[in-house]
Chains A and B, each alone.
Chain A
Amino acid sequence: MNVLKKLVNVLDKVQKPSRYIGGEYNSVRKKDSKINLCLVFPDLYDVGMSHFGMSILYDVVNSSSFASCERAYLPWLDMQEEMKKEGIPLYSLESYRPLDKFDVIGFTLQYEMSYPNVLRALKLANIPIHRNERDDTYPIVIAGGPCTVNPAPMEEFIDAFFVGDGEEGIIEMLKIINEGGNKRHKLEKLSTIQGVYVPGISEKASKRFVSRMPNAPTAQIVPYTNTIHDRGVVEILRGCTHGCRFCQAGMIYRPVRERSYQEIVDLSRKIVKFTGYEEISLLSLSSADHSQIKELMSHLKEIKNVSFSIPSTRVDALSVELANAVSGVRKSGITLAPEAGSQRLMDVINKGITEEQIFEALKHAKNSGWSRIKLYFMLGLPTESDEDVMAIGEMLQKVKKMGFKNVSATLGVFVPKPHTPFQFASQIEPEEAYRRYKLISWAHKYAKINFTDPRKALIEGVLSRGDSSIGKVIEKAEKKNLVFPDWNETFNPDEWMKIFEEENVNLKRISASKDVKDVFPWDKIDVGVLKGYLWLEYQKALKGTLTQDCRNGCTGCGVCQRFGVKNVLAGRKAPDPLKVSVEKVSGEGI
């Protein structure tokens, strides 16, 4: 199959052909490897190329002596059609090889809404979607990323899931697959690796941890296409310990591991040199937390001809200060996420911030010259009352009256996620979401309010907390061409609702609140944080009691004690984990 030859016939007919041409600067075409992996981001190139995790694994595998790593993304619908017409299978962007010619296909599951895209990618590659239909002649299909903390909905399709930090695990997996044997044999051996969950073989699996920040890629691939985040990336810290009770990333990426400012500066210089990027993003879940952030900002100024950006979402003065530092004179828009409108509800979610601090930060932003402000809120958080919803409107009114020229707010419906304290909480139904949204329709005159379709949250909720029976829904969604469900132009909620009905999905049961004694589909994955701890946190939430950030003192979530890791701060010593006997925190007790 000569993919390249056939591509010439289609690339003139599609939008943005640069997504499909491959061969980007710094992409690696490694020949004569013993084992070949193709990583697939199940969404459009523009999105997938903006994802740093794949960039890390690409570098790790291609630096190994025995394995190669290539990439593929899901082509947009116009390209899919042309490929079908021309008989072009999904191919890699390095060697233009059809995906079924690889030994291993690795999907990254970053968000649940990409599940139908995974199946579409397999179909475009002429690979059977069900794992039990794939014999030894097909590649082994693995998946990683945050969604693997509940593998149930996708377990009919994936041969092996990898949960946690992948830098070491991916090499171990490739080594085992390279040793040979039949598929069953390989999968059995894979299931012995920490972090790997093999459906049908593993009963349980624990998350994999790297104890400190690993080496980072500097010769990062430079796309031609204008991707969503078209810039270099330095991951300055991993994990977040604020303990916001809705946040899955804050629970499953513990503990915090910081990179020293010297290393960040060094990486930044190298990235500029190797890529020619004019902008570098300092990636983390919460950049203002870095214990050396002040030193870092002053040293980054020494790097010429490049600007820095920070995906900052916390609402405090320091975050505004950081935004000031990286934005220079051109202060266009600043994005802050209070998540809730009232102090009471902020305490329920353990945001760890007071309304006073928020307005102090806003005042600071105003005085620093920011004129456009964007605020993120969630609707339907546990215990939310109509007063709490009204408080969102009141906050917007207050913000507008502070003199910001342009205030916008994005309102999303809260989706409870596995392995968070709110995994026990109920999710509000779309009708109820609309009712609450209408409570603040008066606030439209103060801010442009974007309300995300609550049916999207419903679907996301089903895919997040669903069990293995949801696989049928995903399969049907792909068949009905409901791919790219995260894109507004392709999102078709009515069709999804129809599928839920046809497949007898018990929406009420999935959305309902849960008890600690309930068995969850994701209980078989141990991410480190104990279920009992999550339950206690949920109880504290219902009472509005705060839990401190564990960088100020261990809160006993169990991760450090059970997996021999701890918070690694670059600028100071982190407090030691509480000495609790392992039996006590084994997860069986509470």
Chain B
Amino acid sequence: MGIRITNSGMHTTVQDSGRNGFQRYGFSASGAMDLTSLRLANILVGNERDEAGLEMIVTGSSFLFTQSNTIALTGAECRPKINGKPVKMYQTLKIDAGDELTTGSLKGGTLAYIAFAGGLDIPEVMTSRSTSTRYSLGGFHGRTLETGDSIAFRKPDPSLNKRTRDFLPDWVNQDTEDIIHLRVIPASMIELFSEKAAAGFFEKEYTVSSRSDRMGYRLDGPKIETISQEAVISEATVLGDVQVPPNGQPIVLLADRQTTGGYPVIGTVCTVDIPRLVQCYPGKSIQFEPITLKKAQHLLKKQERFLKRVETYFKNQKETTENTSEATDGKDNQEDGDWSADRISDLIETVDASSLNYFSYEDEQIKIRLDKQNPQSKEVGRNVSERKTRPEPALAPFETVTISSPLVGLFYTSPENKDTPIVKEGDRVTAGQIVGRVEALKLSYDVTADKSGIVRSFQVNDGQMVEYGQPIMELESEE
């Protein structure tokens, strides 16, 4: 007994640190795209750091627990709730049998992780529990999780002491950055590019393409010219390789990459920057900068030492508090005095959802002022300003309902591989009906109407890039 999936999400798979050692036989390693986040989740729940957990891409999944256990969520903000009550990420949460854990669409990043104390009862295939959906290998029957699937726990431990960690990976707030800087170790094959092309690669800006996936992140930008069009004799690919196909648009090779490749490689993204890249939504600007091998290895060691310290800290904590039986209820976490980013964002959400227009709080550590009317407080979240522009229902003869994008991606009015729009202006739609779709990382997510009504206007064009929460269309509600 363990979990039953009550809502599959778009692309949720079992992943660990990868099926390593088989690249020589042509097997991609797979494994967690943002391995640092998975490791941190495992460390929080007392697992070996490379234990398998769940990876959720772009949208979260929901689970009914049929057995009590301790879990931790890391990665991009996925707005987790237990039985409808918001809970925090980056700390242990005790979940009882019968509880439901729900997560929403991801914001600030594309990948979130859940680790379960004692691991999941998934058979190892060639030394790993990772899922390769491309080859239907490993994980849960080689595929993404579907609603109704059940996975048992191996050695659940619902009595873990509460652990929190005020550690947030450096990409967590990167959506406020205009450009993500990724450090690249130049490849020996850089000679295949002209000096001008190589210099341009490090100066120009690229954006993450929506055709990115677990195999590789494709980037759009200035064309990188190779000196000769001669093919490179195929050789092994390496995680983070920046491959340049003949169209000159680079692809960064990732967990599910093909094991060999015959395109020139201009450099390799350093390991500590891989999570920063994979957490980028399509449309995000990227700039590459060169880094020396020595510096890259130094950064990697530093990160590993950090994880080791957290691990040791928790192990000692476990030993010293093993005999005390204090409450370890992870759901009640407001007493601790620290103002983590999580807690502040919880507060913003609470204020935002309430009828309050103004909220202020001050103590020795922090001063918080949230003002829904004042445009200067825009940084507390886009939802605030959007809500403000919405007409008051009581004043309008018909209520205008805005349908917002559930995620970051490209908005399409028509189904995949079709040209006919699903709905057009003037159409009557019913609550729950599909009215369009948003595509991100090659996954298509249906946008549905919350209420019945008549389509009044589209706020965005077909094929346009939309932000999370951006208004897509307005309905005239009939309810």
Do A and B originate from a single complex? Answer: no
Residues of chain A at the chain B interface (Cβ within 8 Å): none
